[in-house]
Structure 1
Amino acid sequence: MTATPYAATTVRILKQLRADHRTVAMIVVVPSALMALLYFVYQDAPTLPGRPSVFDGIGVTMLGILPFVVMFLITAISMQRERTSGTLERLMTTPMRKIDLLGGYGTAFSAAAAVQAIVACAVSFWFLGLHVAGSVWLVILVAVVVAALGVSLGLLASAFARTEFQAVQFMPLVTAPQLFLCGLFVPRDQLPGWLEGISNVMPLSYAVDALNEVSTKASASGQMWRDVVVIASIAVVAMALGAATLRRRTP
């Protein structure tokens, strides 16, 4: 990437996000509010002696899933809005390369995703009493990487959408199969063999595995770091594919 156009794009998107108060509220407030709702849902659920509470078991996983879903939706819609408004078309007539453009978008939204993940984790651990065996900072790290994955996949999905409505339609297509197969509802090793094979290539499966490692082990394990590397690698590949498939609407 070229430093000047990349930095200019990043700063422009960050300024646009700061001026869009509704989007900022959705990024920062919605995951924390949903975590609070989840807390009250399981507040009176019985807990077996010596076992973590239901909220502890599910809450740590949702700290990865919620930022992923929210950032995918916001990024896909925002990028498509840039396209329909003509901003993206004008930028692509300049010497700016597509990787500079998408890199700037990805960095700006990933910074917003980092804030989102930190706030959601802070609310969950210090206000809602979520407990994990490992470090809180490891949960934050995984949540940030997973949120950045949502940004990359949102940018990739926006390249195939013609309208904002089509961008929204990609959300169930991309997120729902991953939610069903990531181990949230049924452990992945208990899935039928062919479904377990599909889950092994879905990035959200590695996010859930990494968060489960942090929730059950006092120190960072090799498997957790492997899962984080896999998630980050998929995010980079999705960003590169987004740049490769980005096209102008006019010759």
Structure 2
Amino acid sequence: MHPLVIQYRAVVVKEVRQTVRDRRVMALLTIAPLMQLFVLGFAVNFDVRHVPTAVVDRDHTSESRDYARSLLAGDTLDLKAEPQDERTAQELLERGEASVAVVFPPEFQQDVLRGTGAQVQALVDGSDPVRSGVAVDMVARHAADRATRLLQSEAVARGETPPRSPVTLVPRVLYNPELSTAVYVVPGIAAMLLLVVTTIIMAMGLARERESGTLEQLQVTPLKPGILMAGKVTPFVLIGLVDVGLALSVGAWVFHVPLRGNLGIVALATLLYLLSTLGVGLLIATLSRTQQQAFVGGFLFLLPAVLLSGVMTPIHAMPDWLAWVTYFNPVRYYVEVLRGTLLKSASLGDLWRQVVLLGVFGTLVISLASRRFRKTSA
């Protein structure tokens, strides 16, 4: 067997044994990612349901009561209070006891019967734009649907043919028919967990070895820096692949994330993505003197990498100047590969651009980290 292979194997075995012996590190590498996946998978939820709603009925007629009952019939709005006036309703919004207040003005029923155009006011707490936007859209659609039904019933009462809308919308939701937040978020969480496991943990581990003097002892041995670096990186590559497998399994079993595409594409993209995350971790370790510095450096990289990846918020919603920055973020391309493969069954021909860019970024980062590691080992 070639001496370099023997040296590489010895370093890998040493790193694996050292990692397995340290129960805290093993917990951070295996149990912690699963706990984060469960917590974030359930906690991050953009589905808008059970919005606390106040109803101000100043008309007190059968028409206003029937309108309110139909508006609250679904699970989007929940009746929490029935204040007497708009001022009291606004106080409920200020205290956070309600997010929406629906106000029926006096003579609401008379305006409906006269056909002069009855108005319903909706007071909305804009401090939560997602929930408020959905609530306003729901109230507006309900008003439009009720107006259409009212016109049709009046036409039938007059013996006329009920008017029909010239355009009928037939929605068909692809890839995520139930519009589940978890199906959208969990693939992004898997990418984020790899950042924690491979970037921060590796950076802190190397910094700890530098503090204890173990790394310097290895550097004075006949081991070449490249072999030493490869041996230290290999266990984290294996752990990263295992964590991705666990995340996909839990996502499919608990959160019902579909596994429609070729998992070989996911494995290839994961290996290329690990080049970037491990390279950044190695680079941070070479620039840090203590574990605290390594942790801070990893966190400063983690936060913008996640925010600019499209994991939580869509990239097209960002300002143009900030959206351009995401093109230099490998997390973005890995998330696109995961969502494209798992949800849309995309092929390598559809995702070749993301895969190539992952390889380019990974090669550049690991090369830079390798040069820095050799320089600090010299």
Larger helix proportion of the pair: 1
CA distance in 1, matches of 2:46, 2:285: 41
Inter-CA distance 33–64: structure 2 relative to 1 (3 Å threshold): same
Largest Rg, 1 or 2: 2
CA distance in 2, matches of 1:175, 1:43: 21
2:319 maps to what in 1? 192
1:174 maps to what in 2? 301
CA distance in 2, matches of 1:45, 1:139: 28
2:132 maps to what in 1? none
2:206 is aligned, of 63, 79, 99, to 79
2:25 is aligned, of 23, 26, 45, to 23
Residue 46 of structure 2 contacts residue 181 of structure 2 at CA under 8 Å; is this kept in 1? no
Instruction: Give the secondary structure class of the aligned counterpart of 2:277.
Output: helix
Amino acid at match of 2:340: E
Amino acid at match of 1:198: V
CA distance in 2, matches of 1:8, 1:57: 42
Is structure 2 residue 283 aligned with structure 1 residue 149?
A: no
CA distance in 2, matches of 1:219, 1:207: 13
Inter-CA distance 223–200: structure 2 relative to 1 (3 Å threshold): farther
Larger strand proportion of the pair: 2
2:253 maps to what in 1? 126
Unaligned runs of at least 5 residues, structure 2: 50-170
Q: 1:184 Cα deviation (Å)?
A: 2.4
CA distance in 1, matches of 2:34, 2:264: 17
Inter-CA distance 147–46: structure 2 relative to 1 (3 Å threshold): farther
Amino acid at match of 1:14: V
Amino acid at match of 1:104: G
Amino acid at match of 2:261: G
CA distance in 1, matches of 2:256, 2:300: 34
CA distance in 2, matches of 1:105, 1:229: 25
> Residues 85-124 of structure 1 correspond to what in structure 2 (within 5 A)?
85-124=212-251
CA distance in 1, matches of 2:17, 2:300: 30
2:365 is aligned, of 218, 238, 241, to 238
Instruction: Give the secondary structure class of the aligned counterpart of 1:2.
Output: helix
Amino acid at match of 1:24: M
Question: Could you give the per-residue CA deviations for residues 26-63 of structure 1, whole angstroms, max 9, x where no partner exists?
Answer: 21112222222234336894699733311101112211
Inter-CA distance 137–62: structure 2 relative to 1 (3 Å threshold): farther
Aligned Cα RMSD in Å? 2.7
CA distance in 2, matches of 1:82, 1:42: 36
Residue 275 of structure 2 contacts residue 366 of structure 2 at CA under 8 Å; is this kept in 1? no
Instruction: Give the secondary structure class of the aligned counterpart of 2:223.
Output: coil
Amino acid at match of 2:243: Q
Question: Could you give the per-residue CA deviations for residues 117-169 of structure 1, whole angstroms, max 9, x where no partner exists?
Answer: 21222222124422254345644554454345322211111000011000001
CA distance in 2, matches of 1:173, 1:149: 16
CA distance in 2, matches of 1:133, 1:150: 26
Instruction: Give the secondary structure class of the aligned counterpart of 2:334.
Output: helix
Q: Structure 1-normalised TM-score?
A: 0.86
CA distance in 2, matches of 1:96, 1:203: 32
2:347 is aligned, of 201, 211, 220, to 220
Is structure 2 residue 160 aligned with structure 1 residue 33?
A: no
CA distance in 2, matches of 1:99, 1:129: 42
1:2 is aligned, of 1, 4, 9, to 4
CA distance in 1, matches of 2:311, 2:241: 23
CA distance in 2, matches of 1:102, 1:212: 32
CA distance in 1, matches of 2:355, 2:369: 21
Q: 1:179 Cα deviation (Å)?
A: 1.3
2:182 maps to what in 1? 55
More deviation in 86-95 or 188-197?
A: 188-197
Question: Could you give the per-residue CA deviations for residues 83-111 of structure 1, whole angstroms, max 9, x where no partner exists?
Answer: 11112112222232211111111112111
CA distance in 1, matches of 2:42, 2:376: 48
**Bigger RCO of structures 1 and 2 (CA < 8 A, at least 6 apart):** 1
Q: Structure 2-normalised TM-score?
A: 0.59
Amino acid at match of 1:2: L
